[in-house]
């Protein structure tokens, strides 16, 4: 339960920083730009490496979220 509270707090902090949700793209440069921006948020928040994947997934929406779900179903949980 304590770990869940930590994730909630960090997720709320991401929202407060106005982290950009990612809906997907076919443009590699757009995806790379989103990842670079996300890394800046993680740096400012002093985010632990073990939490980065879950927090990035938290920001996936629409096609990007669907893609991630398919990948997890195909490969298993990805950390």
Strand partners, 60: 22
Contact 38, 19 (CB under 8 A): yes
Q: How far apart are CA 2 and CA 5, in angstroms?
A: 5
pTM of the model: 0.74
Vertex 10 angle, CA 20 and 69, to 5° = 60
Map out the domains of the chain as residue ranges.
Answer: 2-75
pLDDT tens digits, residue range 19-67?
888 999 999 999 999 999 999 888 888 888 888 888 899 889 999 999 9
CA atoms within 13 A on the CB side of 9: 8
> Is the pLDDT reported for residue 7 higher than 90?
no
pLDDT band at 79 (very low <50, low <70, confident <90, very high): low
Each residue's pLDDT tens digit, 10-20: 777 777 777 88
């Amino acid at each position: 339960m304590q770990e869940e509270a930590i994730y909630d707090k960090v997720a709320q902090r991401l929202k407060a920083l106005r982290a950009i949700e990612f809906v997907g793209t076919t443009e590699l440069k757009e995806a790379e730009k989103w990842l670079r921006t996300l890394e800046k948020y993680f740096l400012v928040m002093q985010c632990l490496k073990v939490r980065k994947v879950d927090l990035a997934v938290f920001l996936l929406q629409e096609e990007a979220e669907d893609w991630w779900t398919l990948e997890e179903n195909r490969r298993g949980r990805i950390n």
